[in-house]
Amino acid sequence: MLHSKPVLQLTEDGSHTLCIESLNETYHSYAGALTESIHVFIQKGFEVMKSQKEVSILEVGFGTGLNALLTLEQAKKNNQIVTYQSLEPYPIPLDLVAQLQFDYLTEEDEMKVYLNKLHTCSANKQEAVSPFFNFTRIESTLQDAELDLVYDVVYFDAFAPKKQPEMWEIETLQKCAQLLRKGGIFITYCANGQFKRNLRSLGFELFNPPGIKGRREITQAIKL
């Protein structure tokens, strides 16, 4: 699926992301990688489960590891234990991870260690990356993955429907729906019309809060 090696890209909030130039597609919003990850996945996804002592999360698209790192940090602040499984069929090289400089996004020294662990731990094997974060990086596509957990939250962070349409089709979304518990949250930056109709037909109730900097809506869906 990937057409060229990702290259570094600066976003408007000063944080970095990656860009696949042949697809003209970035791993995060140009308006701000850090701002988007916090607003969409942490605030509208993970934080909804704040009252739970233990939370299980499936991420579709590990990419740079930014969502995982921010969830790890928030889990510590909230004193929650997170089981986080993240799918990534195309891991990025470690030299590129270093160039992202995500370790400067946090004042806590230990976050540098955690970021490195997220990218270097053995694939397909659960590891306690921190006392609050049990992590598995699954080297597989969503379509091929054999997953046996039932999750509280799905972070759906695939490339956009125009660039990778198969990720947003009903068969693919159905797999996520089956993996979520009732009352679980499916969260994504996208609010494409057909995608939203697909989610409704799979039994989700949809909410569309604003995206970052008042830009396009995002989708927060609750499994009924």
Ligand X SMILES: C[S@@+](CC[C@H](N)C(=O)[O-])C[C@H]1O[C@@H](n2cnc3c(N)ncnc32)[C@H](O)[C@@H]1O
- Contact positions vs ligand X (CB under 6 A): 1, 27, 60-61, 63-64, 66-67, 87-90, 141-143, 157-159
Q: Which is nearer to ligand X, 24 or 205 (CB)?
A: 24
Residues sharing a CB contact under 8 Å with residue 159, sequence separation 6 or more, in sequence order:
23, 25, 61, 167
Q: Which is nearer to ligand X, 9 or 126 (CB)?
A: 9
3-state secondary structure of 222: strand
Angle at 89 between CA 85 and CA 90, to 5 degrees: 120
Question: What whole-number distance in Å separates Cα of residue 133 and Cα of residue 86?
Answer: 12
Question: What whole-number distance in Å separates Cα of residue 19 and Cα of residue 6?
Answer: 5
Q: Which is nearer to ligand X, 159 or 204 (CB)?
A: 159
Q: Which is nearer to ligand X, 120 or 143 (CB)?
A: 143
Please state the separation of Cα 115 from the chain's center in Å. Answer: 15
Please state the separation of Cα 13 from the chain's center in Å. Answer: 19
Smallest gap from residue 18 Cβ to ligand X (A): 7
Q: Which is nearer to ligand X, 152 or 157 (CB)?
A: 157
Smallest gap from residue 63 Cβ to ligand X (A): 3
Smallest gap from residue 94 Cβ to ligand X (A): 14
Smallest gap from residue 209 Cβ to ligand X (A): 19
Smallest gap from residue 9 Cβ to ligand X (A): 12
Question: What whole-number distance in Å separates Cα of residue 41 and Cα of residue 28?
Answer: 12
